[in-house]
Structure 1
Amino acid sequence: MKTKLNELLGVISTALESDPVQGARMLIEPLSPAEAARVLESLPNSLRLPFWSQVEVDKKGEVLLEVHDDLRRHLINHTDEDTLFITLSAMQMDELADLEEDLPIPVVNAMVQAMDSQRRQRFALVKQYPDDTAGGLMDADATAVRGDVTLKAVLRYLRRARVREGALPEHLDSLMVVDRNNRLVGVLPLSALVSYDVDTTVSEVMVQGETSVTPLKPSAEVARIFEDQDLLSAPVVDDQGRLLGRITVDDVIDVMRDQADREILGRAGLDKHPDLFAPVVGSSVRRALWLGINLVTAFIAAWVIGLFEASIEQVVALAILMPVVASMGGVAGTQTLTLVTRGIALDQVGRSNLWRLVGHELTIGGINGLFWSLVVTAVAFYWFGDYQLGLVFGAAMLAVILTGAAAGTLIPLALKQVGVDPALAGGVVLTTATDAIGFFSFLGLATLILL
């Protein structure tokens, strides 16, 4: 699909440039909302509004959910209120709640007024929870039945719901079973609904003890539960066990994707949802901050080198070999940092196994350090014909790889302790540590032994 969209992007761009009003409509129509959003984000600013004007009205709301925040607000600001009302009317409660802050107040008021009392209550329920919690993810339109009714009655209820709503809820794999007080008592899989005798009661075939989540549980933990237990959906209940809604796997996939994007882009100091064609000035300012942080760390490494300026002037080989020391320390540290950061995200690292993990990584670092220190000692001796330089180079290599292993383990844990995301800041701190200690050990040993 990636290749198809890349090829389609050029065709759509040409069509929009030749006819901004109708030129790409036939090309846009077959696209899913996610594909349309991806094309939108790939187009230059001048073609985005012409593309948006040719997206079908009933698809616009889903596209708004997929694009990044700045582009979403831009598109909403250039869409008339009547069109917004039409495209948003059929959306689920959790989706409406995600868009509400960016919508014009008259549109929000009109939508709320058009809802029946039940949907209005559900909308108010979803709105009160942050986006990064189970409550923010859930769909309040959870389909629930009582345990004392027959499967025949459930089938009749679903048929009526389909006629009334036009379709059943998305990703419906099970029905929630509640008591008279709306407390969750079990789950009725659709497989049981269609495979047992229709005169069987729900309580006889429902599954009890199914996993449920509370509305304030962080979305990252919800995603982990879905992954660990291979869930397609899960009920959301309050502290008294009353059913509030359900979360489906498509919402969880979005959470996982956002987490991956955040980690990858955060390491480069970029926004969670970067815009390929974001305004130049704003992008420059955001990137300048990260460049400034890296500049400071580079000056720290340069300061360490400056302490041994006289040694470098006398032994030119030191300047040639320094980048090798820094590079090996950085790679060794990054390997450990990545492993530990992932472990923290999955709650696999804590006080109970911290020092064992440190010892494990130092052991790996020691083995690799000894091996590669022997290799670089031989290379330096062969290259420069100086066995003392080779020994210094090898000792510094061992020291910097061990430093990378220790720093890669301890830095993300320390950052988490002070409330800083290791995925964002870990790389910068690690580079500073390995560069500074690597240069200091290499140049310091060279000064003591060679001069």
Structure 2
Amino acid sequence: MPEVFEQDYTLELLQQVTNALNSGQFVQVRRTLAEIPPCDTALLLESSPHKVRTQLWQLVDPDIQGDVLEELSEDVRLSIIAKMEPELIAAATEDMDDDDLGEVLRSLPDPVYQDVIGAMDSQDRARATQALSYVEHSAGALMNTDTVTIRPDVSLDVVLRYLRLKGELPDGTDDLYVVDKDNCFLGALPISVLLTSQPDKLVKELMNEERETIPISMDESDVAQLFERHNWISAPVVDDNAHLLGRITIDDIVDVIREDAEHSLMSMAGLDDEEDTFAPVWKSSRRRSIWLGINLLTALMAAFVASFFEGTLDILPILAVLNGIVPSMGGVAGSQTLTLVIRGIALGHVNATNQRFLLGKELAIGALNGLLWSLLIAGVIALWQWDFVLGGVIAFAMFMNLVAAGIAGASIPLMLKKMNIDPALAGSVVLTTVTDIVGIFAFWGPQPGCLFKQPDT
């Protein structure tokens, strides 16, 4: 569906449901929610204010509530689950895939989680325990166990008869996994090969023994990069002893890629990528206040540094007008480099072997841009104020800050990554502090009173 059409469809559907709710046509709303797919119901819930969202959820068919919960962001899911009884949560998660079940249960507060586990039957409880045994954001937490396995010494005709008896294949099945009697992964037989080869051929003659597998502990972002690089539809997941544990499908990878993109975007503003757009005012305000407070502290640091140069400002008031130019240019240049490096880290392009080259490149870019824009600003200030000394001072400050911005923009995310701090979350705050302080020192520092005439009294 084209994006513009999808937006229009969503807006029309939301308006239709809202009008029906306002006029008390609850039966019509229930019928509409039953006719649209769970992903659209989830979008309606996420696009609705808190009061409307509560009404909508009460009208969702209990049989599809689990499917809708899978599609919701964590914040919205928690706000809905908080008002559900543990028995209803357990019923809603009964038919979830293992990876979605683990994600939902991990998002629950501990007391609620314990109640939900207690409300499950023994089979679902065992499935939930297994799903939660894997490290969050790892291949294990991402995989499903709905694999179709076959033996290497059987013919394709036997495999076809087995599949006909099975009746249906799991969604996204493009390979059948070949295992030995100990369930060790041996290779994969593509469905396309199965359907186009002679029935009397043996599986071991046609299977792909070079099929790459995914370790159970691999980070989900690294898994996404493998899918992107190899154009996979699905991939097998194995443990350290090559035992087949499950598979990861492209639909789960799309979610990972989207979440990583949202995380990078929201973190630049110090926000949680799962934050609910329509969350209560107090909750949203509390979250945003944390990074506003950190930003205030860094701004006070820059103001403290500027306070050392109050005497210079008394000598030449025009400096108050020019004061914001240098830090502003440094901030923009540094943000460009910071964004580029964070993207490179996320895509796996930046590593220990090329970090030195990257730092050298950004230093050179900063120096070249610094030279260009410092000469330009020097000429503008000299002609405007007819003061070549002032033009030279601001040119020096501009050059130094753009060089510092290039180095900081490249080095800050690398250092934060080594410290296990998310560069997307903290990088911009640290960069702003650096460019502000360097800009102030470079602009005000080389301006002793002897460079300027004392104003006539």
Shared fold, TM over 0.5: yes
Q: CA deviation at 1:84?
A: 4.7
Q: How many residues align?
A: 443
State the partner residue of 1:172: 173
Measure the CA separation in 2 of the matches of 1:349 and 1:73: 36
Query: Aligned letter for 1:365?
Result: G
Residue equivalent to 1:25: 30
- Tell me by how many angstroms 1:380 deviates: 1.2
State the partner residue of 1:14. 19
The change in CA–CA distance for 1:80 and 1:355 in structure 2 (over 3 A counts) is closer
The answer as to 2:65 corresponding to 1:60 is: yes
Residue aligning to 2:165? 160
Residue of structure 1 aligned with 2:104, choices 99, 108, 116: 99
Give the Cα–Cα distance (whole angstroms) in 2 for the partners of residues 114 and 123 of structure 1: 9
Of 148, 155, 169 in structure 2, the residue corresponding to residue 150 of structure 1 is 155
Distance between the aligned counterparts of 2:400 and 2:246, measured in 1?
55
AA partner of residue 146 (structure 1): R
Give the structure 1 partner of residue 432 of structure 2. Answer: 431
CA–CA separation in structure 2 for the residues paired with 1:291 and 1:351:
33
Letter of the structure 2 residue corresponding to residue 113 of structure 1: S
Distance 1:306 1:110 in 2: 63
After superposition, the Cα gap between the structure-2 partners of 1:104 and 1:353, relative to the gap in structure 1 and judged at 3 Å, is: closer
1:131 aligns with 2:136: yes
Query: 2:43 is matched with which residue?
Result: 38
Distance verdict in 2 for CA 1:44–1:174, change over 3 Å: same
Match of 1:48 among 53, 70, 84: 53
Contact 2:214 2:237 in 1 (8 A): yes
CA contact (8 A) 1:185 1:208 kept: yes
Query: Structure 2: how far apart are the matches of 1:50 and 1:121?
Result: 33
Task: Give the corresponding residue for 2:7.
Answer: 2
Query: Counterpart amino acid of 1:171?
Result: G
Match of 2:122 in 1: 113
Cα distance between partner residues in 2 of 1:435 and 1:23: 58
CA distance in structure 2 between the aligned counterparts of 1:6 and 1:381, rounded to whole angstroms: 55
Query: Secondary structure at the residue paired with 2:246?
Result: strand
1:316-354 Cα offsets, whole Å, 9 max, x none, are 221111211111100111111111222223333333322
Matched residue, 2:77: 72
Counterpart residue identity of residue 13, structure 2: L
Looking at structure 2, the residues matched to 411 and 12 of structure 1 have their Cα atoms a distance apart, in angstroms, of 48
CA RMSD, Structure 1 to Structure 2 (Å): 2.2
The one-letter amino acid paired with 2:202 is: T
Deviation at 1:17, TM superposition (A): 2.0
Q: Deviations 1:233-288 (Å, cap 9, x if unpaired)?
A: 11011111110000111111111222122222122222231112212222222211
Q: Where do residues 396-407 of structure 1 align in structure 2 (5 Å cutoff)?
A: 396-407=397-408
Which residue does 1:310 correspond to in 2?
311
Name the residue aligned to 2:253. 252
Give the letter for the 1:47 counterpart: V
Per the TM alignment, residue 440 of structure 1 is displaced from its structure 2 partner at its CA by: 1.2
After TM superposition, the structure 1 = structure 2 runs for residues 365-380 of structure 1, keeping only pairs within 5 Å, are 365-380=366-381
**SS of equivalent to 1:24:** helix
User: Which residue identity lines up with residue 423 of structure 1 in the other structure?
Assistant: A
Which residue pairs with 1:450 in the alignment? 452
Question: Does structure 2 retain, via aligned residues, the 8 Å contact 1:17–1:47?
Answer: no
Deviation at 1:35, TM superposition (A): 2.5
Return the offset for 1:81: 6.3
Gaps of 5+ in 2: 1-5
- 3-state SS of paired residue (1:398): helix
2:3 aligned residue: none
Distance 1:275 1:124 in 2: 28
1:160: how far off?
A: 2.4
Relative distance call for 1:7 and 1:396 in structure 2 (3 A) is farther
* Alpha-carbon contact 2:151-2:179 (below 8 Å) kept: yes
Residues 28-75 of structure 1: per-residue CA shift (max 9 Å, x gap): 334332232122111111111221122233322121122233432332
Q: State the Cα distance separating 1:111 from its structure 2 match.
A: 4.4
Kept after mapping to 2: 8 A contact 1:20/1:51: no
**Larger deviation: 13-22 or 355-364?**
13-22
SS of alignment partner, residue 245 of structure 2: strand
Separation (CA, whole Å) in 2 of partners of 1:351 and 1:73:
39
Aligned to 2:239: 238
Supply the distance in 1 between the matched residues of 2:121 and 2:88 (Cα, whole angstroms).
16
Given that residues 393 and 442 in structure 1 are in contact (C-alpha distance below 8 angstroms), is that contact kept between their aligned partners in structure 2? yes
Query: How far off its partner does 1:294 sit?
Result: 0.4
Structure-2 change in CA distance of 1:284 and 1:85 (3 Å): closer
Checking the alignment, whether the CA contact within 8 Å between 1:20 and 1:50 is kept in structure 2 is: no
Asked whether the equivalents of residues 301 and 435 of structure 1 are also in contact (C-alpha less than 8 Å), the reply is: yes
- Deviates most, 385-394 or 24-33: 24-33
Q: Give the unaligned 5+ runs of structure 1.
A: none
Between the aligned residues of both structures, percent identity stands at 41
Instruction: Find the residue that maps to 2:348 and give its secondary structure.
Output: coil
Structure 1 residues 109, 144: closer, same or farther in 2, change over 3 A?
Answer: farther
Deviation, 1:105, is: 5.4
Distance 1:222 1:91, change over 3 A: same
After superposition, the Cα gap between the structure-2 partners of 1:337 and 1:104, relative to the gap in structure 1 and judged at 3 Å, is: closer
Which residue of structure 1 lines up, in the alignment, with residue 272 of structure 2? 271
Structure 2 Cα separation of the partners of residues 123 and 77 of structure 1: 19
